[in-house]
């Protein structure tokens, strides 16, 4: 069952296209930015080092998994209940995190001569940078909105 926080605009007995599109945009903002960060980082790594083959692909996945595990552990997410949906609205919907993650990851992997190591480090670096940078950006937007007299960052 889907629960909507506010009464949607209604055409007949269903949600309007716009109301549905807004909800989808709000739900997909974090995965969309993450997908761009991963795809951009891998594309640059492939362009620089060539297609890695099965071992390089596996090393990218292993590096990505370890990077994600490290972020989860460091921020203490293992002991926290899940509070969803987060409710990203306003400028937070213009998630620019990937625009910063991809060049950072490129700086890390560009100088690595071994392609397998480069793919391992790319997976690790994209995961170590995305969540912290996205959280920092949303935190800045929230604090800026609160200073402007908006109690809920809206």
This prediction has a pTM of 0.76
How far, in Å, CA of 39 to CA of 60, rounded?
Answer: 12
The residue ranges of every structural domain in the chain are 28-147
Q: Which residues contact 42 (CB under 8 A, 6 or more apart)?
A: 60, 122
How far, in Å, CA of 137 to CA of 95, rounded?
Answer: 8
CA distance between the termini of the chain: 27
pLDDT at 86: 59
Q: Cα-flanking dihedrals φ and ψ of residue 60, to 5°?
A: -60, -50
pLDDT at 27: 79
Three-state SS at 106: helix
How far, in Å, CA of 43 to CA of 102, rounded?
Answer: 10
pLDDT by position in tens, the chain (length 154): 344 455 455 445 567 888 888 888 877 878 888 999 999 999 999 999 999 899 999 999 999 999 999 999 998 888 877 776 556 777 777 788 899 999 999 999 999 999 999 999 999 999 999 989 988 888 888 788 777 665 554 4
Buried b (16+ CB within 10 A) or exposed e, 128-143: bbbbebbeebbeebbe
């Amino acid at each position: 069952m889907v629960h909507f926080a506010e009464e949607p605009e209604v055409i007949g007995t269903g949600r309007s296209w716009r109301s549905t599109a807004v909800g989808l945009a709000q739900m997909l903002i974090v995965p969309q930015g993450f997908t761009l960060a991963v795809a951009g980082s891998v594309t640059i790594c492939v362009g620089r080092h060539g297609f890695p083959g099965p071992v390089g692909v596996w090393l990218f996945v292993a590096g990505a998994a370890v990077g994600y595990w490290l972020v989860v552990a460091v921020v203490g997410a293992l002991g926290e209940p899940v509070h969803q949906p987060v409710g990203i609205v306003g400028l937070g919907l213009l998630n620019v995190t990937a625009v910063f993650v991809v060049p950072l990851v490129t700086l890390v992997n560009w100088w690595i001569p071994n392609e397998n190591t480069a793919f391992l480090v790319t997976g690790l670096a994209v995961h170590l940078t995305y969540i912290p940078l996205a959280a920092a950006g949303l935190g800045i937007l929230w604090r800026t909105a609160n200073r402007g007299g908006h109690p809920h960052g809206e």
